[in-house]
Structure 1
């Protein structure tokens, strides 16, 4: 039971780190020009999903 609890705490902190990474990724992508985003196959409306994907992929 204790190991399960500690694993849950570890996962929680891992999720916090990934969430912070998603914010940083979003901000980095958002700073790019529309042309730069297009070269990566992205539009501004793609940014939230793309930041999440890059940060939380398995």
Structure 2
């Protein structure tokens, strides 16, 4: 059998434009919820659209 992952629910509250989505996405990435290949794909798509990701690594 494969490794079973524990599911948790997280609520992020804050004012508009304070980076809630950015920090949540970065947390998911750092915890291994998104693989590096997927992140690179999204970074490439963002660059093609003229959007620059501002997520610290």
Q: TM-score category by the smaller chain? A: 0.3 to 0.5
Which structure is higher in RCO with an 8 Å CA cutoff and minimum separation 6?
1
Give the structure with the larger helix fraction: 1
Query: What TM-score comes out, normalization by structure 1 length?
Result: 0.33
